[in-house]
C-alpha cells in the first residue's frame, strides 16, 4: 500500500440526503470536469496536490489526509478529505469541504465509513458541523464508483489516481448506496413572537382565573435548553436525538416545531439543565466530540 493513495467516496456516497443552507461566502467551482480545468481549479482554490487525489465525481474531489496501516486484528484505515465541485452539492450539504475516516476490508472487498464532519469553507476551514454518523455495517462498493476507487486505493498496490494518466476519468456516484442522512441542518432562527394586544376587561378577568400557556411552559425544569440540530424532517430530528442517547444521562429530549419564513423546521432539543452553566458544559462536550449545538432559552 502506498501513502497518498487512500481515500473514500465523494459527496454522492456519504452525504446523500443532507439538506442544509449553505454559507454566504462567494465560492468558485470548476467550469468543466476536464483534466486541465480541474487541475487549474485545484491549484487555485485548494492546498491539495494532484498526486494525493484518488477520486473525482461530478459532486466532489477526494484526497488523502493520513493513513493507518493494518495491525493485528485491525483493518487498514485512512482519513480523507473532499471538496465540493458544484453548487448543487454545496447547497445540499451546506459545506465546501469535509473529512471522514474509512476502514477497508481488502479480502472481503468492503468498506465502512466513520463520522463525516463538514466545514463551511474550503480546505477544512470555517465552522464545522457533523454531516453523517458513522456506519455500523460494512458495504460493498459498486464497480466504477468513487467508493470502488477508494477501496482499490487501499487494497491494490498498482492503484493509480485520476491525475496519473493523460486523461481524467470521472467516477460514478454510488446512487442509492448511502443510508439516510442523520446530520442536523443549521439551526433555524428563533422567531420573535408578536406582542399580543391588551385584553379587554372581560378577557382580563378570565385571565386571572385560567393560567396562561406561557406560564405553564416556564414551569418545566430548567430555563435553558441545548439545541442539537434541526431539519425539515421529523425523522431526521429524531435520529439526531437517538444518536445522542448515550450522552443524555437521563435528561429529557424532544422534537419541537418552528415555522420559519413559511417553512416548518423540526428542532432536536435537550433539556433538564439546572442552569445555563450546566447546559453550556453539555454543549461543550458535544462540540469536543465533533457535534454541533448551541444553548438557548425555551
Q: Which helix (H) or strand (E) holds 146?
A: helix 146-155
Residue 185, pLDDT above cutoff 50: no
Which of 66-80, 165-179, 240-254 has the least mean pLDDT?
A: 165-179
CA-CA distance, 119 to 95, in Å (whole number)?
5
Could you tell me the fold of the domain covering 11-155? Lipocalin (2.40.128)
98-123: per-residue pLDDT in tens?
A: 998 899 999 999 999 999 999 999 99
A 10 A CB-CB count for 206 gives 11
C-alpha cell at 36: 486541465
Which of 48-52, 80-84, 216-220 has the least mean pLDDT?
A: 216-220
Could you tell me the fold of the domain covering 201-297? Alpha-Beta Plaits (3.30.70)
Please provide the average confidence, as pLDDT, over all residues in the chain.
76
Which of 3-12, 101-110, 229-238 has the least mean pLDDT?
A: 3-12
Give the pLDDT band (50/70/90) at residue 261: low
Domain extents for the chain?
11-155, 201-297
C-alpha cell at 235: 425523522
Percentage, residues of the chain above pLDDT 70: 73
Amino acid at each position: 500500500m502506498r501513502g497518498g493513495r487512500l481515500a473514500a467516496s465523494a459527496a454522492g456516497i456519504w452525504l446523500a440526503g443532507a439538506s442544509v443552507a449553505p454559507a454566504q461566502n462567494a465560492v468558485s467551482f470548476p467550469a468543466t470536469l476536464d483534466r486541465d480545468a480541474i487541475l487549474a481549479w485545484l491549484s487555485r482554490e485548494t492546498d491539495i496536490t494532484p498526486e494525493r487525489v484518488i477520486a473525482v465525481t461530478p459532486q466532489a474531489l477526494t484526497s488523502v489526509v493520513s493513513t493507518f496501516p493494518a495491525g493485528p486484528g485491525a483493518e487498514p484505515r485512512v482519513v480523507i478529505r473532499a471538496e465540493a465541485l458544484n453548487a448543487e452539492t454545496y447547497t445540499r450539504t451546506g459545506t465546501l469541504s469535509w473529512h471522514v475516516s474509512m476502514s477497508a476490508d481488502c479480502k472481503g472487498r468492503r468498506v465502512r465509513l466513520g463520522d463525516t464532519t463538514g466545514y463551511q469553507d474550503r480546505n477544512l476551514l470555517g465552522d464545522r458541523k457533523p454531516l453523517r454518523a458513522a456506519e455500523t455495517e460494512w458495504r460493498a462498493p459498486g464497480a466504477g464508483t468513487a467508493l470502488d476507487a477508494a477501496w482499490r486505493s487501499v487494497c491494490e498496490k498498482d492503484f493509480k489516481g485520476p491525475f496519473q494518466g493523460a486523461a481524467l476519468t470521472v467516477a460514478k456516484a454510488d446512487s442509492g448506496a448511502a443510508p439516510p442522512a442523520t446530520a442536523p441542518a443549521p439551526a433555524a432562527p428563533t422567531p420573535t413572537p408578536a406582542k399580543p394586544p391588551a385584553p379587554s376587561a372581560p378577557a382580563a378577568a378570565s385571565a386571572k382565573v385560567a393560567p396562561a400557556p406561557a406560564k405553564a411552559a416556564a414551569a418545566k425544569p430548567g430555563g435553558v435548553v441545548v439545541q442539537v440540530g434541526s431539519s425539515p424532517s421529523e425523522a431526521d430530528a429524531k435520529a439526531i436525538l437517538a444518536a445522542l442517547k448515550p450522552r443524555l444521562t437521563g435528561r429529557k429530549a424532544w422534537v419541537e416545531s418552528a415555522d420559519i419564513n413559511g417553512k416548518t423546521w423540526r428542532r432536536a432539543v435537550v433539556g433538564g439543565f439546572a442552569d445555563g452553566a450546566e447546559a453550556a458544559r453539555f454543549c461543550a462536550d458535544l462540540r469536543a466530540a465533533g457535534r454541533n449545538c448551541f444553548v438557548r432559552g425555551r
